[in-house]
Amino acid sequence: MKIVRTFGFTILLCACGFAGSAIGQDHQHMQGMDMGSMGSMSMAADGNAVKVGDLEISGGFAKAMLPGQPVGGGFFTVKNNGSTDDRLVLVTSPNAGAVQLHEMAMKDNVMKMRELKDGITVAAGQTVELSPGNLHLMFQKVKKPFKEGDKIPVTLTFEKAGKVDLMLSVLSAQGK
Ligand SMILES: [Cu+2]
């Protein structure tokens, strides 16, 4: 994983997945990561929104992976138009051996990422955004590295709304 330090955030996801399988769910990402630079990575919306029950899912995208990179990041926005809370509990994709739900957060000035085993809650009337540097999907055991322009199908399972298929457009490794 030497290249991790040379290229910043893009390979970070790679570092995460690597460390994640090796040492568990609360793994260290990168020393002293600058939140400011991460904030500037805005999300590129795709426009193909899908609905299931009271939920509306939009802006799905994934980042291109570098050759040999074992894991990839995926992102989208979920809006809950209903009056009951729901929860994203499972994500699967034919392009990956497993898909985990992760969050990233600053802790003691260090960016850390951990798997959310209980899923991601989308409260009634709220919108939850999975975006670089925050909540994200982590594709594990990816069969073929995601290339810019690819489409990655995923199936999301929500506790109440049930299953819905979503297509993630692969953007550049920078997520733009
Ligand atoms: Cu992750």
State residue 10 phi and psi, 5-degree precision: -55, -45
**The pLDDT of residue 147 is above 50:** yes
Q: What is the pLDDT of residue 118?
A: 97
How many angstroms is it from 160 CA to the middle of ligand 1? Answer: 25
Residue from 26, 41, 28 nearest 109 by CA: 28
Total number of domains in the chain:
1
Residue 41: is its pLDDT beyond 60?
no
pLDDT of residue 42 exceeding 70: no
d(CA 4, CA 14): 8
Residue 44 alpha carbon to ligand 1 centre in Å = 19
Percent of the chain exceeding pLDDT 70 equals 73
Mean pLDDT of the chain: 80
pLDDT for res 43? 42
State which residues form the domain around 45: 3-171
pLDDT of the residue at 170:
97
Query: What CA–CA distances, in Å, run from 88 to 4, 64, 102?
Result: 30, 24, 12
147 CA distance to ligand 1 centroid (A)?
19
The model's pLDDT over 64-75, given as tens digits with 9 standing for 90+, comes to 998 888 899 999
- pLDDT given at position 124: 98
The residues whose Cβ lies within 5 A of ligand 1, an ion, are 16, 102, 113, 138
- Dist. CA 101 → ligand 1 center (Å): 7
- Residue 17: predicted pLDDT: 36
In a domain, 176, yes or no: no
Indicate whether 32 pLDDT > 90.
no
Q: Residue 80 is part of a domain; what is its CATH number?
A: 2.60.40.1890
